[in-house]
Chains A and B, each alone.
Chain A
Amino acid sequence: MASATDSRYGQKESSDQNFDYMFKILIIGNSSVGKTSFLFRYADDSFTPAFVSTVGIDFKVKTIYRNDKRIKLQIWDTAGQERYRTITTAYYRGAMGFILMYDITNEESFNAVQDWSTQIKTYSWDNAQVLLVGNKCDMEDERVVSSERGRQLADHLGFEFFEASAKDNINVKQTFERLVDVICEKMSESLDTADPAVTGAKQGPQLTDQQAPPHQDCAC
């Protein structure tokens, strides 16, 4: 009786609503700097040496636990190739934070960082949080961009800086978590006052004529 059953019905569905909020993050940078590899390492913990240049745009979803909150990350991987620029820049507006990546073995990709940063300024909101990442730091022998230059440029642009390797899984998780944290900070800031529920801090003291609200903590 299963005559009409079609392979498409076997799809897995990611309908899990069990998270507190969703952040959208965009990864940008020249082609072949390792954006896709970086995302695959983070989301799937996988790496392939083969280069498969991204077509247009892609994304992955990952839910993390941070500051007592479950945060769903929709991480957009953009194509570095110039010819996809119209599509990729359309996504800048939706992103709360950016990972701007270059390849430490590729001078040109480093020189392009300034342009990428300008793109963010043009297409994104004013408080966009950006982390500069120098990828492929496992290839020390072929390094052409020193850590120092990376750091200086980051300082100059007002970004935080990491050197990382998608291949050897160095600083990948840290980069994303740091970005999440800075977005959280921005969020609290934009709501003027810090929110105990977000920062994970306990409520301030009660200054009134009554006892504290009963049972604020989970009894377990």
Chain B
Amino acid sequence: MAREVSLNSLQELEREVILQVLYRDQAVQNIEEERIRKLKTHLQHLRWKGAKSVSQEYRENSCARCHQELGLLLNRGAVCQGCSHRVCSECRVFLRKTRAWKCTVCFEDRNVKIKTGEWFFEERAKKFPTEGKHGTAGAKLLQSYQELSKISVVPPTPPPLSESQCSGSSHRLQELGQFKGFNKSVENLFLSVTTHMKKLSKSQNDMTSDKQLLATGPRQCASRTERRSQSDTAINVTTRKASAPDILKSLNQESPKRHTNPVLKQEDLSSRPTPSAVFSGGLRHASLISINSTCTEMGNFDNANVSGEIEFAIRYCFKTCSLEICIKACKNLAYGEEKKKKCNPYVKTYLLPDRSSQGKRKTGIQKNTVDPTFQETLKYEVEPAQLATRWLQVSVWHLGTLTRRVFLGEVTIPLATWDFEDSTTQCFCWYPLRAKAEKVDDSILPNNGELAVRAKLVFPAGPRKFQEALEGTDWPSPNGQLCLVVLGAKNLPVRSDGTLNSFVKGCLTLPDQHKLKLKSPVAKKQACPRWQHSFVFNGVSPSQLRQSSLELTVWDQAIFGVSDRLLGEARLGSKENVAGGRDMCSQSELQWQKVLSSPNLWTDMTLVLH
């Protein structure tokens, strides 16, 4: 009898050990998917640059990639074998040891195949045509396991900056679901997993004589955890045990999905990553289009009717951490002084969001030309991690008499999706100049970063009270708690040295305008701070919370007695207080609703700071 118990626990431990690995793998896969997504966005960006002119002003005699005019005799261009577009000689990349070339976009396409591992999936498809691309063995095992045990297994608490729990996983699950033949393959996995689990239990029953196994069993798990904790990939996970009989039982049921237990259902909710819990969400990276920005010199310059293009190249040296912007030339610029037909152009750059004077770089001034040639290199020293959070803004100005400046146009490039490794992105490129728009579409306006929080309403236990809480019936005594863990923030507007001493203030405004304020400790010298600090607002009832608003503000601590700098704020709850029309806001609003309606469960949220 005693032995049987220990055998059962060994099985459980085994399953737990394996599940932990599967969840760690899931985290790795999510990161990988995020990376692949960025790569593809970048490729899309290149395509977009090419396609733009085709629709705008398609000219037979211009290069499909850089839009440079092609000559009739010299530099006539040639047709790319990959895409059949005519490209100039500068937009060709020659493959090693061959005279064959591809245009920059086709070359990039190929590069993306390498970097995303697409080449492997294509090769593999030759042998396993039905195999889904991204459904890893782990993901499938995990899913079939979860389905089998009907989520009696709770995935690990997401890592603090719930990046690994981001869209990737849920997206992949969906993708898996859409994949044809998926049901079949999962059925197979169901079978293989269950037969495996059966085998495990069987072999354990059979192997009572196998002293070595019995001896190493439980100890092995313990010591393995120790060993693993030294490794960099260590992630502590909490898994709820699912007993083997449960698994086998649910397999016998025709449809495990019909298995409904209210409590399990709730766990189900909380354990599935919410699609909107996207930390490094699409918002930033999707903003490939030139972003118009407000300038420090706003109001101190004149506007010309923007026209023309600017040619420059961007390079980054990882050894010296230097970013080089080689400004080559402009063409068809607007006149700075239209009446006098005068233009003395120069180029200025910033690495947004830093608009301080230390972050400014300028070229020399060219006199009396709307087609200036600069051939100047502007340099920044910036860490690779920092680089990914910046936008390069290149603007063209006219210097008039009495140092009156006129804005001639600008280009803004998000560096998050820029591939500095790739030689094609280091090439010179023409970019159309754009005006500073009056009103900018919110969705492409650079926000002030994202704040990751996790929230939970805590009420004294009791199912009936649960129900009341859900239905919004008022709480007899307001002894509930709102727990909020401020995990961390990203993409904040950093200081010119790339760091911040940031902290978070939380302010809960109750319906009677009573304010509960809390403050986190300061995260020193971190551009992407992780506070992991809990705010607990005591003595609140659900109905009160429904009419309350929670304001979270992120601050940069003052250096020399100057006042603290507000980096951004996010607001939750109480509709009246929230300015409408913000896309991300409504998402976080939904999540906030979820917090309010599911007491005692943690909800992860990513809030966009404005």
Q: What is the interface of chain A, defined by CB distance below 8 A to chain B?
A: 1-22, 40, 43-44, 46, 48, 50-61, 69, 74, 83-84, 86-87, 90-91, 93-94, 96, 125-127, 187, 190-191, 193-199, 201, 203-210, 213-216, 218-220
Q: How far is the CA of A196 from the CA of B100 in the complex (A)?
A: 12
| A contact residues around B313 at 8 Å (CB) | 214-215
- Given known A-B contacts A52-B224, A125-B127, A194-B97, A60 and B231 have beta carbons under 8 A apart: yes
Of the candidates B110, B120, B195, B534, the one having the most CB atoms from chain A within 10 angstroms of its own CB is B120
Additional A-B contacts beyond A96-B120, A214-B428 (8; CB < 8 A)? A44-B230, A51-B216, A58-B21, A59-B25, A74-B28, A125-B128, A126-B126, A195-B111
Contact present for A5 and B230 (CB under 8 Å): no
Answer yes or no: B233 CB below 8 A from chain A CBs.
yes
| B contact residues around A91 at 8 Å (CB) | 137-138
| B contact residues around A46 at 8 Å (CB) | 230
Contact present for A83 and B199 (CB under 8 Å): yes
| B contact residues around A16 at 8 Å (CB) | 31
Q: What is the interface of chain B, defined by CB distance below 8 A to chain A?
A: 13-14, 17-18, 21, 24-25, 27-28, 31-32, 34-35, 38, 74-75, 78, 88-90, 92-100, 110-111, 113-117, 119-120, 122-124, 126-128, 131, 136-138, 140-141, 156-157, 159-161, 163-164, 189, 192-193, 195-196, 199-200, 203, 216, 220-221, 223-224, 227-228, 230-236, 238, 313, 315, 317, 319-320, 322, 324, 326, 377, 384-385, 421-423, 426-428, 456, 483, 485, 487, 518, 532-536
Q: How far is the CA of A55 from the CA of B590 in the complex (A)?
A: 41
Shortest 10 CB-CB contacts between residues of A and residues of B: A210-B89, A4-B534, A90-B137, A86-B196, A56-B18, A13-B159, A125-B124, A208-B89, A204-B94, A220-B317
| B contact residues around A4 at 8 Å (CB) | 456, 483, 485, 534, 536
Contact present for B96 and A13 (CB under 8 Å): no
Q: How far is the CA of A11 from the CA of B532 in the complex (A)?
A: 11
Contact present for A7 and B236 (CB under 8 Å): yes
**Residue of B230, B320, B534 touching A2 (CB-CB under 8 A):** B534
| B contact residues around A56 at 8 Å (CB) | 14, 17-18, 21
A-B contact pairs, 30 of them (CB 8 A): A1-B535, A5-B534, A8-B156, A15-B164, A17-B34, A18-B385, A21-B115, A43-B232, A48-B227, A51-B216, A55-B220, A56-B14, A56-B21, A58-B228, A87-B18, A87-B193, A90-B137, A90-B141, A91-B138, A187-B119, A190-B119, A190-B120, A190-B122, A193-B96, A195-B111, A196-B94, A203-B423, A209-B75, A209-B89, A218-B426
B317 CB, min distance to chain A CBs, angstroms: 4
Q: How far is the CA of A191 from the CA of B34 in the complex (A)?
A: 24
| A contact residues around B236 at 8 Å (CB) | 7-8, 11
Contact present for A193 and B100 (CB under 8 Å): yes
Contact present for B95 and A204 (CB under 8 Å): yes
| Chain B, residue nearest A69 (CB) | B421
A3 CB, min distance to chain B CBs, angstroms: 5
Q: How far is the CA of A91 from the CA of B140 in the complex (A)?
A: 11
Q: How far is the CA of A19 from the CA of B113 in the complex (A)?
A: 15
| A contact residues around B421 at 8 Å (CB) | 20, 69, 197
| Chain B, residue nearest A218 (CB) | B317
Q: Binding site of A, secondary structure by majority: helix, strand, loop or mixed?
A: loop
Q: How far is the CA of A97 from the CA of B161 in the complex (A)?
A: 32
Contact present for B24 and A59 (CB under 8 Å): yes
| A contact residues around B196 at 8 Å (CB) | 84, 86-87
Contact present for A61 and B98 (CB under 8 Å): no
| B contact residues around A17 at 8 Å (CB) | 31, 34-35, 38
| B contact residues around A74 at 8 Å (CB) | 25, 28
Q: How far is the CA of A90 from the CA of B195 in the complex (A)?
A: 14
- Given known A-B contacts A4-B485, A191-B113, A206 and B216 have beta carbons under 8 A apart: no
- Given known A-B contacts A5-B533, A209-B75, A219-B315, A53 and B96 have beta carbons under 8 A apart: no
Q: How far is the CA of A73 from the CA of B224 in the complex (A)?
A: 21
B72 CB, min distance to chain A CBs, angstroms: 13
| A contact residues around B89 at 8 Å (CB) | 206, 208-210
Contact present for A218 and B315 (CB under 8 Å): yes
Contact present for A14 and B232 (CB under 8 Å): yes
Contact present for B94 and A203 (CB under 8 Å): yes
- Given known A-B contacts A195-B96, A205-B94, A206-B94, A55 and B227 have beta carbons under 8 A apart: no
Contact present for A220 and B319 (CB under 8 Å): yes
Q: How far is the CA of A43 from the CA of B227 in the complex (A)?
A: 12
Contact present for B220 and A52 (CB under 8 Å): yes
| B contact residues around A216 at 8 Å (CB) | 423, 426-427
